[in-house]
Amino acid sequence: MSVEFKRITGRTRLLNPFKGNALDEIPFEIRFDPLTGATGRVFDLPFKAERPDVADIVGRSKKVFCPFCPASLEKSTPEFPKDFIPEGRIKLGGATLIPNLAPFEKHAGVAIFSQEHFLPMENLTPETMRDAFSASLLYLKRVAQTDPLVQFFSINWNYMPPAGSSIVHAHLQPNAGEVPTNAFREQVEGSRRYWQEHEQSFWQDLIQAEKQRNERYLGEIGSAFWVMSFVPASFLPDVQCILPDQVTLLEFGDEDLESFLKGLSNILKYLLEENVYSFNVSIFSTKEEKSHRVNARICPRLLPRPIGNSDIAYPQMMHRESFTVRPPEGICQRLKEFFS
């Protein structure tokens, strides 16, 4: 086993006014991602999020035009060309999948969860999330059938404005293309490098290593393994889901999706308890890269202080360096209870 959890810890010395100007030492930590080598900063601050005014956000969203509400969906959203989707839009259960007018990728869809303008986070269960994810999988499979050049697939979700969503009406964004994004490319390159050096899947070794250490490991649901990221990507620690037997979303079955949705809903229940009402999700998948595995990240998002500041600041924006204010190891035990 060669997965390495490298970290550097240090202390900054200062005269602390909250301790009578006595000499104090503030610890800090730099961690190195075991797959990519990318660094991130971990602090241990007494941060506790305040519950946002969800009713106010929803109220404001109803004063602006929503293209995903039933009154406007048919006439205000685009359709796929008939030679790609004969019906124009993919409809599955309560979900509707349409082309993305702001295409982030060669193939970019928007999967609207339901007719409900606001789907409260408390109601995000496997049942209420299933149709939109199933429609996204159907779309990506259709893309792969019709465009042999695409290699990189993802299903993405901004839930509520602090996560970047401009439309409160819940929707996923499935993408497929030939060029991976930076984070995706680093994953794939790291997976290949690890495979060449160890003739093993990094992802399987990571699960073994995390299980043994039992500091960040959350549990296993069906085919999905859940672990807190060693190097958190967000202001509050994020969670990774790994499907160690799945190389591609194109072969994702109902059981795989169910395993993912159950774990995701567990995490969302925990986030509600922490007063976090916004998050990002991305599921990453290649078409057939044998060293890579289907994996996802769930990042809490929030406006940390009452003034409404963003949780993304110069470190992430200018230095591409993540930081988190609470170590994942300090949260893991509580979050794990939602998995038992």
The site for Zn ion (CB under 5 A) is made up of 66, 68-69, 117, 169
Nearer to Zn ion, 85 or 170 (CB): 170
The single-letter DSSP state of residue 232 is: -
CB atoms within 10 A of CB 48: 8
Contacts of 314 (CB under 8 A, 6+ apart): none
CA dihedral of residues 220, 221, 224, 227 (deg, nearest 10) = -40
Question: Residue 228: exposed, middle, or buried by beta-carbon count in 10 A (0-12, 13-18, 19+)?
Answer: buried
Shortest Cβ 277–Zn ion spacing (Å) = 18
Q: Which is nearer to Zn ion, 169 or 326 (CB)?
A: 169
Choose between 157 and 225: whose C-beta lies nearer to Zn ion. 157
User: CA-CA distance, 186 to 73, in Å (whole number)?
Assistant: 37
In whole angstroms, the minimum distance from the beta carbon of 303 to Zn ion comes to: 22
Q: Give min distance, CB of 65 to Zn ion, in A.
A: 9
Q: C-beta of 261: minimal distance to Zn ion in Å?
A: 22
Shortest Cβ 68–Zn ion spacing (Å): 5
Exposure on the CB side of residue 245, measured as CA atoms within 13 A? 9
**Nearer CB in complex with Zn ion: 38/73:** 73
Q: What are phi and psi of 317, to 5 degrees?
A: -70, -45
**Which phi-psi region, left, alpha or beta, contains residue 229 (left: φ > 0; alpha: ψ -120 to 50)?**
beta
User: In the bound complex, what is the minimum distance in angstroms from residue 165's beta carbon to Zn ion?
Assistant: 12
Distance CA 297, CA 245 (A): 17
Strand stretches in 46-186, DSSP E? 90-92, 95-99, 107-112, 152-159, 171-177
58/69 with CB nearer Zn ion: 69
In one letter, which amino acid is 208?
Answer: Q
Nearer to Zn ion, 62 or 320 (CB): 62
Q: How far is the CB of 85 from Zn ion (least distance, A)?
A: 22
114 versus 310: smaller Cβ distance to Zn ion: 114
